Structure 1
Amino acid sequence: MPISSSDTVASTPQQPLLPVPIPVDPNLTDRTRALFNALHNHTGEFAMFGHQGDTSSHHSTTADSDVLDVTGSYPAVCGFDLGRIELGWSENIDHVPFEFIRSEARRMYQLGAIITFSWHSVNPITEGGYGDNMAPESVASVLHGGKLHEKYCGWLDHLADFLLSVRDDNDNLIPIIFRPYHEHTGDWFWWCPGSPAQPTDTEAVQFAALWRMTVEYLRDKRDVHNILYAYSPDRSRIDMTDDATAQAGYLYGYPGDEYVDVLGLDDYWDIDQPLTGPNAIDPAERHDTFVRILTLIGQLGAERGKLAAATEVGSPREFASAFGSNPDSPWTTFMLSAATANEFTQRVLWYLPWCNFPGAAEDSGAYGTPIAGSQYADDFRRFVRDDFMRLADTLPSMYGE
């Protein structure tokens, strides 16, 4: 008999009953099921360091990865974006060829790393990206019965075709953590319903319907079974006044436990903020709030049988070290101390900063990782080589091999 989402299991006699983890897709490929199980089994034991566009955007001239150049290893979680796949382009939003993404996903998987895809799709009405990504009734137009529903199904077909093309050398589908419709609590992407305090014209129930429609199309119509689905609100629009308000803000637009494998969070707000000026907030207060939001997603994960992850994070740089004893230690002073703060923050499985775009200086507000020669490089190495953290070369087998 299938296990329902209400079934529970006790992890130890001293702990309360916890939900049995059940994937969104009951027909996962063997290796994707193995990844799902491994992630749950290792929850609380360690956290993984991830990086977006690690080998496509780097400053190093001697290595194809700044993380590799600084630490001696590739990240444990490697992020790629599929924006423009919907239009049938040969390269993504950052002009990275999809063939390169496919081959790098294969290479990182062979190294034992975990692959995650985001999707900065254009607006279905305007077909515009940043700066032209919002239009009234965008979500309504692609839902069942909407005037652009068939067009959007065509976009999902392009997406499905690519997801089904990401295979290893033996033609096995590579497991992928797919993170669509991210930062929906903001107001900068066409799928955003916003937040309770700052709603858009899209209702929260419409966002949830879009999410469910996408999962059902990929899983049930296109037989894409190598996917775990990650939900990732934007922290900046979550009211942290109290725990109940924070939880309500985090779950605004939530599509339901049956449609989510990973409770993620995109958080630049608590991490990469100015020390001076009208928007400055005491760094210790930011750190406390960061611990609180990580605690929230870790606790929700435990209560709902879900994985938890910091699916995008800013780079702490000098901000975090302002309340520490060493001005060059933001990664250990801020990020590591938060990751290990309590039993629930320790359930957060990975931290993924954004790309190291070649034209961006480390202190420019472009989020990423320290480069060789940076004043933060030594501390970054201490962070990723801490006993609690994992890179690709210290990650145990996650695919049942």
Structure 2
Amino acid sequence: MNAQSQVSNHAVNGEGVDTLAKHAPIPVDPDLSPRARALFDALHRHSGEFAMVGHQDETFCVHDDGHDSDVLAVTDDYPAVWGFDLGRIELGWNRNIDRIPFVDIRQQMRRAYDMGAVVTVSWHSVNPITERGYGENMALGSVTAVLPGGRSHDKYCEWLDRVADFLVSVTDEDGMPIPVVFRPYHEHTGTWFWWCPGSSMETTDTSSDDYAALWRMTVEYLRDVRGLHNLLYAYSPDRSRIDMSSTASREHDYLFGYPGDAYVDVLGLDDYWDIDQDLAVTSPADRHRDLTTMLTMVGGMSRERGKLAAATEIGSPREFAAAFADDSSRPWTGYLLSAATCNEDARRVLWYLPWRNSEEAVGTGAYGTPAVGSPYAADFRDFARDGFMRLAGEVPPMYE
């Protein structure tokens, strides 16, 4: 039987995916490697005790010439969560979507793991029909084309093989694949990636059932066909497409396309919307209220379902957030930290990951952490050094 045909029909029909008992933390992969299981257990054990400072492409986008990390330059330590992206690995490139060599990504993933940090990986893949990326990432029938029986299914399994090959190539000193929080098909409640079904605000030609089937197929292929047992799986809708008018509408949009508790380890949230807005459009107080509502909802769901919670991508708090604190220098502590610690459920959100410090993002909400010389550097240090937050040197052992 070939690898493609081994993906079970369960991945498409989804029967029984919500039949597992709630509350008890059960990993997506019952055969997790010892280090990955240790990470799973440690994250659950420490949920609510602290949150970790994260950063995408931590050592690849640096503006302080004296350090290999802007977070290090400002806080005297590295982040506790390091994010990386595999976009373009599906095409066999030797560099990712941001032109970073995969050999360097592999080395930095191992480096983060060796210092005790958590490693998380996203995948900005091109469209499987057009093989085009940002701005041209949508095409009718993209998801159904890669599901079992679809015209591009075999091709897509080859793409998954390339992802799998990389994820098992990042090994520890004993030659074992390091644990990775894998975050595929993110921001699916939007309309800008080929896998997106959208939300109640705007749908695409992809149904929520199709998205769930894609997710389950991917997990089953990596876990059951390729035998990867070093992965935790993170689900991360986009906040901007979640209707905030009622509890029911929020939960509906957040869970639109949800593949089932049996296929998700981490309930995440990508939130730029509540953190960097035009002051002329909305008030900081209203956005702060919505941010605390979302963090509380995700944390509460994680508690109810026996899952982990994380702010898997966030915007960079700047002028908008500082206005809430009535202090132009305090967007991180006055706005973000106050939301992160507002109640017990919000405190279950285990990490906050600003995006990369890329040159093209300077001056936008997508720019990540403050560099030395930023008017927000001191406040970011206070945020990262707060008693509730953790940097790499402050987290307890995660892999023992």
Specify if TM > 0.5. yes
1:128 equivalent in structure 2: 132
Does the 8 Å contact 1:5/1:20 carry over to 2? no
**How far 1:354 sits from its partner (Å)?**
0.3
**How far 1:244 sits from its partner (Å)?**
1.0
**How far 1:170 sits from its partner (Å)?**
2.1
- Partner-residue secondary structure (3-state), 1:191: coil
**How far 1:365 sits from its partner (Å)?**
3.5
Counterpart CA distance in 1 for 2:144 and 2:341 is 42
Matched, 1:103 2:141: no
**How far 1:359 sits from its partner (Å)?**
4.5
**How far 1:6 sits from its partner (Å)?**
4.5
AA aligned to 1:367 is: Y
Counterpart CA distance in 2 for 1:169 and 1:21 is 29
Matched, 1:388 2:388: yes
Counterpart CA distance in 1 for 2:243 and 2:107 is 41
Matched, 1:210 2:214: yes
1:287 equivalent in structure 2: 288
AA aligned to 2:160 is: L
AA aligned to 2:391 is: L
- Partner-residue secondary structure (3-state), 1:322: helix
1:13-61 residue CA offsets vs partner (Å, 9 max, x unmatched): xxxxxx1100000000000000000000000000001000010112111
Give the gaps of 5 or more residues in structure 2: 1-17
**How far 1:125 sits from its partner (Å)?**
0.3
1:97-140 residue CA offsets vs partner (Å, 9 max, x unmatched): 10101000001111110000000000000000001110000001
Counterpart CA distance in 1 for 2:364 and 2:47 is 34
Identify the range of structure 1 (167-176 vs 86-95) with the bigger mean alpha-carbon deviation: 167-176
AA aligned to 1:383 is: F
1:13 equivalent in structure 2: none
- Partner-residue secondary structure (3-state), 2:110: helix
Matched, 1:356 2:361: no
Does the 8 Å contact 2:272/2:365 carry over to 1? no
Counterpart CA distance in 2 for 1:219 and 1:179 is 14
Counterpart CA distance in 1 for 2:208 and 2:37 is 30
Does the 8 Å contact 2:324/2:335 carry over to 1? no
- Partner-residue secondary structure (3-state), 2:139: coil
Counterpart CA distance in 2 for 1:61 and 1:5 is 53
Identity of aligned residues (%): 63
1:14 equivalent in structure 2: none
Task: Trace 1:326-337 onto structure 2 (pairs within 5 A).
Answer: 326-337=327-338
Give the gaps of 5 or more residues in structure 1: 9-18
TM-score between the two structures when normalised by the length of structure 2: 0.94
Counterpart CA distance in 1 for 2:310 and 2:38 is 18
Matched, 1:262 2:266: yes
**How far 1:7 sits from its partner (Å)?**
4.2
1:174 equivalent in structure 2: 178
RMSD: 1.1
Does the 8 Å contact 2:240/2:271 carry over to 1? yes
Does the 8 Å contact 1:108/1:115 carry over to 2? yes
Counterpart CA distance in 2 for 1:345 and 1:338 is 7
Does the 8 Å contact 2:272/2:366 carry over to 1? no
Counterpart CA distance in 1 for 2:53 and 2:286 is 24
1:324-382 residue CA offsets vs partner (Å, 9 max, x unmatched): 23210000011100000001000000000000003443x33432110101110111000
1:197-248 residue CA offsets vs partner (Å, 9 max, x unmatched): 2000000000000000000000000000000000000000000101111000
Counterpart CA distance in 2 for 1:214 and 1:148 is 14
